Structure formats: C-alpha cells, structure tokens
Amino acid sequence: MKKTFYWIIALLSASCSQISDSRVLKLAHGLDAQHPVHLAMEYMAKRVAEKSGGKLTIQIYTSGQLGSERECLELLQIGSLAMTKVSSAVMENFAPNFKALGLPYIFRSRQHQFKVLDGPIGQELLVQAEKYWLRGLCFYDAGSRSFYTTKKPIYSPEDLQGLKIRVMKSQTAIEMVNALGGSPTPISFGELFTALQQGVVDGAENNPPSFVTSRHYEVCKYYTLNEHTSVPDVLIISTKVWNLLSEQEKKWLLEAAQESVIEQRRLWEISENECLALLEKEGVQIIRPDKTVFAQKVAALAENYRNEPEIYSYIQRIRATQE
C-alpha cells in the first residue's frame, strides 16, 4: 500500500526530538528485525545510549514501516526522518561516484572490499551526497549478490537468456543483467515476493540473508552463487539533523556507528553460513558455477566509464588498493 508523506510525517512528528537534555533520533529501514544489518543498528543504538548516558538515543522502525529506501531518503532530505539504511546502489541516484562500488567483480575478495570501504575511498564517498542533505556514517557488509530463479537453474550466463530478473533501481544493476543476457526489471523489494509468485519476474538477485529473511526461497528453488556484485549498505543521516547535533553528540554517534560495523561483520558471517544451511534444508538447489565466465561477460562495463573521469578514477583507485 502506497504510503503518503502526510501520514509518515504525522507519525514521526519530529525526526530529532529534544526532550529536556536528551535527544531521540528516528531511524527507519526496510529490513526484517532478524536481519544482521538490523541487529547491528540495534547494537549501535545500545552503544549510543551507553556512551551518552541516555542523553542521545535511537528509535528504530523496521520492515519498511515508513516507506521504501527511496522514500526514506526523501524524508531525510526534508528533515522528517533522522537516519536510514540504504543500499549503495540506491545512493548512485544522489552521488554518482557510488556506481564504482556496484560494478560486477570490482572487489577481488571480502578483505579487498573492507580495505576500500574502511579507507580513504570509502570515507570520501560517505560525504559526497551532502549537497543533497544526505551524509553517510558508515558502510555495512551486504555480502555478495547472486541469482535465484523460479523456473530453471542458472549455470552460465546463457541460462539467463529470456528471463526477467528483478534488479534494484540502479543503472549499474540494469547494465549488468543486460550484459549477462537477462531482461532487467526494476521492482521495489517490498513488492518482489508477489511478483515472483505471479510470474511478473522469473528471478532476482541478492545475498543469502536477504534471500532467507524475505522468504523468497519459498518461490525460488534455484540459487546460483555466482557472486556478481558485493554492493555494501550505507547508514545515512539527514544533514539537517546532523547539523543540529553538538560536537559531543556527533562523536558519540560516529563512534557507535564504527563499533557497529565490527559487530555487523561478525553477525553477517554467522548469518550467511546459517542461511545457506537453511536453504539446503528447505530444498533449494544451490549451484556453485564457474564465476570467471560471468566475470568475462561483464568485464567491459567498467570501461564504459572512461568518459566519466571522476567515476573511472574511483574504479582505478579501487583496483589499485592492496589487500
């Protein structure tokens, strides 16, 4: 059901409530309450409260209660919501340099990805949407995205021919599925289960925890671990809210966010292993293909950015980062 800003703003009343000498920040996202990224944000909220002695607290709304990722970002822009978690693919629409993070097989390993995100490249990207009233606080690990389908297994890119594959509203994701031979179909995550059930799309692509918590495995019985992209999640705060915080409050929040990154990576590894075991138990066929044939099909996508020097510079810097 389509949510209106009038209802959401009435519910929120204030994204950053000041009660005597305490402040409450409201954070909304689209994930299930059992998702490791949500659990990490709960950990962050706990650490903020501990560090501040209760003077700064975070109130979390789960499961898309306050809208889609894009709707939450729009609420941040007008200051009606303090914080949200979005995929970095969604951030491409506000800060184009994020496209470099969504390129297929741009990261050589999980260690390489963390080195990029934790280093100068990641820190630069976090603040690049400030002119759109959005400021990144940290990156969360969202694992690697792989294809899952309803009708047939995917062993090679040729098997994607003629299949409608749901993608995020990201130009990079659309170009990738096109390059692999599929038909990219942007659909919001909240509408995807029904779209898979009704055959509007033949499959989608996501990481194991999201595949499980969304219960898409009830419809899709084939999961191909080709791990084409490792698109991180981003914790975002409204700059309208950020600018209201004192230096001490900013310090508490940033410290707690960084601590939650460490906790989230620990939780993610556990969750990923548990989810793959659950999928096998539920009768999902897990396929581990030769990833090089997928990588070869999409290798040219990075070169398409030669005419966009800033993005291409980030691509080159990511490639040059040592593990």
For residue 173, pLDDT beyond 80? yes
pLDDT in the model for residue 5 = 47
* Cβ(225)–Cβ(289) below 8 Å: yes
Q: Which has more pLDDT, 202 or 63? A: 202
d(CA 18, CA 16): 7
pLDDT in the model for residue 41 = 98
pLDDT in the model for residue 14 = 55
Full-model pTM? 0.87
Strands 134-140 and 83-87: unpaired
Of 149, 161, 283, 145, residue with least CA distance to 216: 149
**Tokens read off for 98:** 């994020």
DSSP letter, residue 231: -
Q: Indicate the average pLDDT of the chain.
A: 93
pLDDT in the model for residue 171 = 87
What number is the average pLDDT over the span 207-228? 96
pLDDT in the model for residue 118 = 97
d(CA 148, CA 221): 7
For residue 228, pLDDT beyond 90? yes
For residue 247, pLDDT beyond 60? yes
Mutual angle of helices 69-77 and 5-12, in 10-degree steps:
60
**Which tens digits make up the pLDDT trace of 128-171?**
999 999 999 999 999 999 999 999 999 999 999 999 999 988 88
Q: Give the confidence band of 310 by pLDDT, cuts at 50, 70, 90.
A: very high
Reduced to 3 states (helix: H, G, I; strand: E, B; else coil), residue 10 is: helix
pLDDT in the model for residue 306 = 95
For residue 85, pLDDT beyond 50? yes
Structural domains of the chain in order of their starting residue, each with its CATH number: 5-142+232-273 (3.40.190.170), 145-230+275-320 (3.40.190.170)
pLDDT in the model for residue 189 = 87
What number is the average pLDDT over the span 37-43? 97
For residue 3, pLDDT beyond 60? no
Amino acid identity for residue 41 in this structure: M
User: Measured in whole angstroms, how far is the alpha carbon of residue 42 from the centre of its chain?
Assistant: 17
pLDDT in the model for residue 10 = 44
pLDDT in the model for residue 1 = 44
Share of the chain above pLDDT 90, in %: 85
User: Measured in whole angstroms, how far is the alpha carbon of residue 180 from the centre of its chain?
Assistant: 22
Share of the chain above pLDDT 70, in %: 94
**Which tens digits make up the pLDDT trace of 278-305?**
999 999 999 999 999 999 999 999 999 9
Of 72, 124, 75, residue with least CA distance to 101: 124
**Which tens digits make up the pLDDT trace of 57-81?**
999 999 999 998 889 999 999 999 9
For residue 93, pLDDT beyond 90? no
* Cβ(207)–Cβ(143) below 8 Å: yes
Please give the C-alpha separations between residue 26 and each of 21, 44, 45, 237, 253, in angstroms, as whole numbers: 17, 13, 10, 10, 13
**Which tens digits make up the pLDDT trace of 113-140?**
999 999 999 999 999 999 999 999 999 9
* Cβ(69)–Cβ(90) below 8 Å: yes
* Cβ(8)–Cβ(66) below 8 Å: yes
b/e 187-203 (16+ beta carbons within 10 angstroms → b): bbbeebbebbeeeebbb
Residues in the chain: 323
Q: What is the DSSP string of 41-103?
A: HHHHHHHHHHHHTTSEEEEEE-TTTT--HHHHHHHHHTTS--EEEEEHHHHTTT-GGGGGGGS
What number is the average pLDDT over the span 28-56? 95
Q: Give the confidence band of 32 by pLDDT, cuts at 50, 70, 90.
A: confident
